[in-house]
Amino acid sequence: MISTGGAPTAPRARDEWARHWHHPGLPGLDLLRARYVRHAFPRHAHDGYVLCAVTSGVEAVGLRDGVVRAGRGGIVMINPEVPHSARAGAPEGWSYATLYPSADVVADIARETTGLRGTAGFVRTVADEPGTGRLITGIHRAAEAGNALAADSLLRIALARLLRGHGGPLPARAPRSAGTRAAARARAVLEERMADPPTLEELARELGTGPFALLRAFRAAYGMPPHTWLTDARVRRARRLLEAGTPPARTAVAVGFTDQPHLNRHFTRIVGVPPGAYRRERAAVGTVGGEPGTTRTRARGAAEQQPAPPRLPARPLARKNVQDLGGGAS
């Protein structure tokens, strides 16, 4: 594989696999089940929430204030728009089952099952919750079997349990300073001119500030410099275009990447699967559940095989989880 600078990059480990998909019976929820060894997610953020159940190995998550680690039985909880990175925290890598619920899904469950005021979120990033981890794995198992009723039920149980144990209102936005306003204006310009963005010096001049002042303000506001934020924003927009059926080559040009290999590199690093595989999973939503297929990526004409996730064994819904369905606010 070739990096953007022309230098070779490490190929994906043979024992890595991933499936990032959406079940049509579970609106507002994306699913990722994967094993990574050498793959590392660069700093990025999400529109909605991230809930990871680590099933083996160790995941290391980089946040503004340091690195946290989660091993088997650990749950990682990340609120919307929180910049973070992720990589293996042990030589053997890590496996996990991840949920990406939208803000509306979390808000509905918080309103029904908790007394939290304001926008509900999570007050800690990592918790040792093996029971909830099994629930999250059960959501994947049910969805892959085409059982949307069971998956939706377990989703509500798991989210209610995490919100009761680790939830709290997200902090209100601080009053905007001059630097914060400049960062917000810069973000709007980059969003609008994503395919042909200005340089940092041009952007600062346009906003009436200095390049270093803008760089500091942008990093303080969004947890990453403008060029990193722009790459993440391009990948987010690429996801929406791919979900709408746009081919990867056209998507790459539309969001400002130089070509499809450029899109492939950044998309795979941030999302965890190549754009072609991401688009195929969305195109196959009519096949409820569906067999996890083999992902094939291309780098400069060379094909790379990525094995499919192993099937999860079927298990009955535990009695305690059935009882949790009737729970109210605690």
Average pLDDT over residues 294-310: 45
Helices (H), 145-284: 148-166, 178-192, 200-207, 211-222, 226-243, 248-255, 260-271, 275-283
Same domain, 32 and 107: yes
Place of tokens 């919750």: 129
- Written as one letter, the residue type at 273 is V
- In this predicted structure, the answer to whether residue 290 has a pLDDT above a threshold of 80 is no
Report the alpha-carbon distance of residue 206 to residue 327 in Å, rounded.
54
Cβ atoms of residues 75 and 127 within 8 Å: yes
pLDDT score for 313: 64
In sequence order, which residues have a C-beta less than 8 Å from that of residue 191 and are 6 or more positions away?
Answer: 233
What proportion of the chain, given as a percentage, has pLDDT over 90? 77
**Helical (H) or strand (E) element with 117:** none
Per the rule left: phi > 0, alpha: psi between -120 and 50, beta: everything else, 309 is beta
pLDDT, tens only, 16-46:
999 999 999 999 999 999 999 999 999 999 9
- In this predicted structure, the answer to whether residue 12 has a pLDDT above a threshold of 60 is no
pLDDT, tens only, 245-277:
999 999 999 999 999 999 999 999 999 999 999
Q: Is residue 7 part of a domain?
A: no
Same domain, 251 and 123: no
In sequence order, which residues have a C-beta less than 8 Å from that of residue 142 and are 6 or more positions away?
Answer: 148, 150, 151, 154
Average pLDDT over residues 170-189: 87
- In this predicted structure, the answer to whether residue 144 has a pLDDT above a threshold of 80 is yes
Rg (alpha carbons) of the chain, rounded to whole number: 20
- In this predicted structure, the answer to whether residue 314 has a pLDDT above a threshold of 80 is no
- In this predicted structure, the answer to whether residue 318 has a pLDDT above a threshold of 60 is no
Choose the final residue of a domain: 117, 137, 172.
172
Same domain, 183 and 109: no
Full-model pTM: 0.85
Report the alpha-carbon distance of residue 150 to residue 75 in Å, rounded.
21
Full domain range(s) for residue 256: 179-285
**Torsions phi, psi of 77, nearest 5?**
-125, 120
Same domain, 76 and 168: yes
In sequence order, which residues have a C-beta less than 8 Å from that of residue 115 and are 6 or more positions away?
Answer: 329
Same domain, 36 and 132: yes
- In this predicted structure, the answer to whether residue 180 has a pLDDT above a threshold of 60 is yes
What's the Cα-to-Cα distance from 14 to each of 11, 131, 191, 275, rounded to whole Å? 9, 30, 37, 19
Query: Could you tell me the CATH number of the domain that includes residue 230?
Result: 1.10.10.60
pLDDT, tens only, 64-105:
999 999 999 999 999 999 999 999 999 999 999 999 999 999
Average pLDDT over residues 225-234: 98
Number of domain units in the chain: 2
Report the alpha-carbon distance of residue 302 to residue 307 in Å, rounded.
16
* Helices and strands (H and E) in the chain: how many: 11, 14
Same domain, 192 and 66: no
Choose the final residue of a domain: 139, 155, 172.
172
Place of tokens 């306003």: 181
Q: Is residue 162 part of a domain?
A: yes
Average pLDDT, the chain: 87
Average pLDDT over residues 169-179: 80
Which of the four pLDDT bands, split at 50, 70 and 90, describes residue 145?
very high
Query: Could you tell me the CATH number of the domain that includes residue 23?
Result: 2.60.120.280
Q: Is residue 109 part of a domain?
A: yes
Report the alpha-carbon distance of residue 289 to residue 150 in Å, rounded.
13
Report the alpha-carbon distance of residue 48 to residue 68 in Å, rounded.
20
